[in-house]
Structure 1
Amino acid sequence: MHKSGIALATGLLLTCAAQAQTTFNVGLDVEPGTMDPRLMRDTSATRMQELIFNGLIRLDPNLKPVPALATSWRYTTPTSLEVNLRKNVLFHDGSPFTADDVVYTFNTVLDTKFNSPRRSFYTPITKIEAINPYKVRFTLDKPFAPLIPYLDMGIVSKAAATKMGADYGNAPVGTGPFKFASWQRGNRIELVANDKYWGGKPKVDRIVIRAIPDNNVRLVALESGELDYIHSPIPPQELDRLAKNPKLTVQKTTGLGITYLNLNTKDPVLSDRRVRQALAYLTDRQTISQDLYYGMDTPGDSFLLPGTSWYSPAVKKYPYDPQAADKLLTQAGWVAKAGGIRTKNGKPLQLEIVTNVDPNRQQVLDFLQGEWRKAGIDVKVRAYDFASMLNDLTNGKFQISLVGWLNLTDPDRASYNQFTTNGSSNYGKYSNPKVDALLEKARSATNVTQRKVLYSQAAKIVTEDVPYIFVLNQGYVAIFNKRVTGYQLYPSGSWYSFEDVSLK
């Protein structure tokens, strides 16, 4: 009896211990393409980086750089930055973090053979060297204003990345608050708390992240208790109802993102700026914002976001104006036929708009299809999986895409890769030497006032050239179960506060 009592008590203790394990269930709209921070292209990958890795710095909710793997930094000259590193930090495999890992991370990103989409963020760096195991020096070819904010990229383990090669993005080894556990492609990613995290062990033991592309299905999973947390995109028509749900918390903020139509300027039809401007006049942003997004997102007009100190009202505006569009299309040779499709040299005016599987964006495509058809444009629309769409964009296999950018924490992040001739995210192959020169100069200008002037000038040209039709400025929404505490909403959408989340 005594032994049985001990066994029973032990079993109960083990059961209680197992029950004490806390799992935070999170829903995403898009599965990350990779978890290697040097190769990430999508927002989901950025969110994963914030859990598994640390950068040298992180940006707080006010976009102020604060220490992470770096403890301090200073410019010794305008082109030399010295960074002191945190000691006693371990990678998830137990190996120590040192300056060699920092040097390796940035050198691989800068290596053209590595083909990092982030390379252009760091091209002013001519050399990075380890002064000692816990100090590095960045040498620049010219002053580089956004360098410190860009030091938020996750630092990889030199040893693990060298050993694993391409597999590193599938089973990453970082220094962050959560360790990679498993990844069932198309289903779920599991992370476990890093009990040796330099910032202290996270409050939840495990995070399960599920990619559910359909916004409505993801919302149902939250309301049923299957998920604890979801964030934008969310069905906007449901927000008022969700705010009244006593089991849920709804948090909203002005986001740091845009939704836009990316126009392929190498396309035979869209290579004519008059056609691109006409499409901008045919895009009724006000109706899209109010009737389709219920005011959650507001009409957009530039890569410089309103509500930030960088915004410039000087950009060219495109109010909904079918008459202005008709004039431009006619000037471009696209002749209108009564109730029919415009033609030029016997060819009909046909365009295809693509987007990823997202009900919010799909309804925008349906709306544009109808509106543009009234102007004599035969529009086809198509929604498909994000990974395939991104591959098509990267290879220039599209006419128009409806997509978005998030995490636009600096105007350089919102413009350099997108609008310089050789920018890694310049999918529409836009090229204007004046814009190239302005954006290069803005990178080197350390005076904030001068940077604002340069970005305003660049934004004015970009909006006149219309490589993008800026449709919406994104609001950002997070919805989570009332049992979730400790979460902090960042305008950038960052998940840094997940390490502080606990479940009641």
Structure 2
Amino acid sequence: RALREVRWNPVGTGPLKFKEFKKDQFAAFTAHDGHFAGKPAFKSLTFREVPELATRIAGLVSGEFDIIVDIPPDQIPVIQRYRDIEARSVVLENSHVVVFNSNAPALKDKRLRHALSLAIDRKKLRDALWQGKNYTPNGHQLKSFGPMYDAARKGYVYDPERARRLVRESGYNGRAISLRMIPNYYLNGMEAAQILLEMWKAAGINVKLDLVDNFKQVRAKGIEMHLWSNTYRLPDPSGAINILYGPGSGMQRSYKFWTAPEAFNAAAAIVDTSEDMQERAGAFRRMLDIFEEEMPITMLYNPLYTYATKKRLDWKPYPILYMDFRADVFRIRR
């Protein structure tokens, strides 16, 4: 009972105080005027669930909403037509990926996993879905990693001829491979999936799309591939690849989608524990080499994330899915 009460009546240290929650409708908060960073710029704040884009835009225009989320790139010009609202975009430090269950019979041969990756024209995906305003990282890393960043790494490349050759060499028999996803969970996710199916078909790989309601169903028995996103929680591999794919990760332990080589896990331990930056960087490069050779996932892109907001709100979105309402970073111009 205590855990249930804490979950539905949370108490934190931020600028908001929990008030009320109704599933599939809203989460309501009041301002914490005694917050250490100062009194928030508002008395109350409510997050409302509004699935329809047109309804979100109409609510912003009418004044019902002050900020809306998930604006596709082709709708940004619509937002910019209005005098008192504007679009604010940022490319997320979050990578959309395809997860391969390398322990599934259909995907045990890594040549087929490589073929699935090599068949993806990521530039075409970015141009079609994001108007070329985003990017694909060169490996599971970001420039913000600083001295840990491997600028010379090629990352995940497009090579359809090699993809077709690997399909033949793998002995793939043409059976349909399942790609599971939650429809409309990710912006442009359905569109990306449909394009991927055509790219894989061109390489001689038959993939079917299986739509489910939640991630429990995504990872249920029979999983072969699924769409996912990877957030870089820290600008360092210890807050990214190690959490998501390291020896203690769900990928290795809970879901068992990948049996990592011991060398990968040993390098992950060095990244997590060494105080020598050169040693850590070398271990990280070994991790990426193994990761890209084993191919437990392939990367698609980091998405462009666009909010639309009233111009009077002095607020800047972060490159992670986190909205900061502290008094020193969120102001209302009068």
- TM-score (structure 1 length as normaliser): 0.59
Following TM superposition, by how much is the alpha carbon of 1:304 offset from its aligned partner in structure 2, in angstroms? 0.5
Q: Distance in 1 between matches of 2:81 and 2:25?
A: 31
- Report the equivalent of 2:245: 419
1:479 aligns with 2:314: no
1:245 aligns with 2:82: yes
- Report the equivalent of 1:366: 194
Following TM superposition, by how much is the alpha carbon of 1:503 offset from its aligned partner in structure 2, in angstroms? 6.2
- 1:305-384 alignment to 2 at 5 Å? 305-306=142-143, 308-309=145-146, 310-315=148-153, 317-334=155-172, 342=174, 348-357=175-184, 358-384=186-212
Which letter maps to 1:483? R
Q: Distance in 2 between matches of 1:165 and 1:300?
A: 40
Change in Cα spacing, 1:349 to 1:329, as seen in structure 2 (3 Å) is farther
Which letter maps to 2:90? T
Following TM superposition, by how much is the alpha carbon of 1:353 offset from its aligned partner in structure 2, in angstroms? 3.5
Contact 1:218 1:230 (C-alpha < 8 Å) held by counterparts: yes
Question: Which string of whole-angstrom CA distances, capped at 9 and with x for unpartnered residues, describes residues 165-197 of structure 1?
Answer: 233122211222111000000110000011332
Change in Cα spacing, 1:435 to 1:222, as seen in structure 2 (3 Å) is farther
Change in Cα spacing, 1:397 to 1:334, as seen in structure 2 (3 Å) is closer
Q: Distance in 1 between matches of 2:3 and 2:138?
A: 42
- Report the equivalent of 1:171: 9
SS at match of 1:329: helix
Q: Distance in 2 between matches of 1:308 and 1:382?
A: 36
Contact 2:11 2:18 (C-alpha < 8 Å) held by counterparts: yes
Unaligned runs of 5+ in 2: none
Contact 2:17 2:32 (C-alpha < 8 Å) held by counterparts: yes
Give the CA RMSD over aligned residues. 2.5
Which letter maps to 2:324? Y
Change in Cα spacing, 1:222 to 1:275, as seen in structure 2 (3 Å) is farther
- 1:33-48 alignment to 2 at 5 Å? none
Unaligned runs of 5+ in 1: 1-162, 336-341, 343-347
**Structure with the higher fraction of residues in strand conformation:** 1
Change in Cα spacing, 1:489 to 1:468, as seen in structure 2 (3 Å) is same
Which letter maps to 2:136? P
2:268 to 410, 417, 439: 439
- Report the equivalent of 1:490: 318
Which letter maps to 2:318? Y
2:228 to 403, 416, 420: 403
1:222 to 49, 60, 66: 60
Q: Distance in 1 between matches of 2:140 and 2:171?
A: 30
Question: Which string of whole-angstrom CA distances, capped at 9 and with x for unpartnered residues, describes residues 465-493 of structure 1?
Answer: 111111102344332111323x1332234
1:256 aligns with 2:93: yes
Change in Cα spacing, 1:383 to 1:296, as seen in structure 2 (3 Å) is farther
Question: Which string of whole-angstrom CA distances, capped at 9 and with x for unpartnered residues, describes residues 382-441 of structure 1?
Answer: 4444xx2x2234556522121212353232121112212441355462222111111111
SS at match of 1:295: coil
Contact 2:20 2:29 (C-alpha < 8 Å) held by counterparts: yes
Higher-Rg structure is 1
Q: Distance in 2 between matches of 1:449 and 1:400?
A: 35
Contact 2:93 2:232 (C-alpha < 8 Å) held by counterparts: yes
Question: Which string of whole-angstrom CA distances, capped at 9 and with x for unpartnered residues, describes residues 215-238 of structure 1?
Answer: 55544443443321134x431222
Question: Which string of whole-angstrom CA distances, capped at 9 and with x for unpartnered residues, describes residues 305-347 of structure 1?
Answer: 2454233245454432222111111111125xxxxxx2xxxxx
Following TM superposition, by how much is the alpha carbon of 1:351 offset from its aligned partner in structure 2, in angstroms? 2.6
- 1:27-176 alignment to 2 at 5 Å? 164-176=2-14
Following TM superposition, by how much is the alpha carbon of 1:201 offset from its aligned partner in structure 2, in angstroms? 2.3
Which letter maps to 2:274? A
- TM-score (structure 2 length as normaliser): 0.87
SS at match of 2:165: helix
- Report the equivalent of 1:392: 217
1:182 aligns with 2:12: no
- Which structure exhibits the higher relative contact order, with contacts defined as CA atoms closer than 8 Å and separated by 6 or more residues? 2
- Report the equivalent of 1:69: none
